[in-house]
Amino acid sequence: MRSVVMAIRFIRIRNKRTVKLAAALGVNTVITFSGCPGDSEHSLYPSWVTCPWPPDFLHVLEWQWTNKVIPYWKEQSEFCKQYGVRVAIEAHPGFVVYNTETALRLREATGDNIGVNFDPSHLFWQGMDPVECIKALGSAIFHVHAKDTHIDPRNTAINGVLDVKPYSDELNRSWIFRTIGYGADAKVWKSIVSTLQKVGCDGVISIEHEDSLMSVNEGYTKAARFLNDILIREKAGDMWWA
């Protein structure tokens, strides 16, 4: 990986001016979420479908993808291509793209200009394995966030991982976001970094600080120190031993 930087999330694909600004600044990737439509043309709020029953839920899900999600992102992808800008979508629960399968579905339907902002923190609490996700996503990974999640075994055992309590209720939540190294250990993060290297992702790893137990300065400092020990900076070169 080339460097470690603090995540500055000022570039969002909220409108076309953002893409034009990115192009003017020489930024070739913008980061955003996929969004989530409601259940009809008249909806005022998003409807995140997480269950195949009752069957009406699946009808809603297919309506969302067919009538809203794919048409919207096809248009956005074509617009971004005109300016040489890619879109890295962060898979996040609450949106239609929240895991590997949905990320790849959107990419397949809208083109390879649509990729992924890979953030392991949202995968950990869903029970996903970031290393296997990296292998499945491969070249679809456009950007990487370094953010961790601590899962509380007792709270999760009682309530599961779907938790709508405020992030500030750290003691009672099933999980909370943490500075890297305070959720998964160095062995896990070394595997993540190494697998990113295997699939050819050698760009920036961006520290995203959302640890409610640490100040910005302490969280960033500890994350940078942690990453400095596990990042792979030099090319291996020829396999002289083979």
As a whole number, mean pLDDT of residues 5-31 equals 70
Beta strands 205-207 and 114-118 are unpaired
User: Which tens digit of pLDDT belongs to each residue from 75-86?
Assistant: 999 999 999 999
| Residue-level pLDDT at 13 | 43
What count of other Cβ atoms lies within 10 Å of the Cβ of residue 135? 13
Q: pLDDT band at residue 8, thresholds of 50, 70 and 90?
A: very low
Percentage of residues in the chain having pLDDT higher than 90: 86
Four-residue CA torsion sign, 136, 138, 139, 143: positive
Domains of the chain (ranges, CATH numbers): 4-228 (3.20.20.150)
| Residue-level pLDDT at 11 | 38
What pTM, to 2 d.p., does this model score? 0.91
pLDDT at 14 over 90: no
Q: Which amino acid is at 132?
A: E
As a whole number, mean pLDDT of residues 48-66 equals 95
Q: Where does residue 22 rank: exposed (0-12), middle (13-18), buried (19+ CB within 10 A)?
A: buried
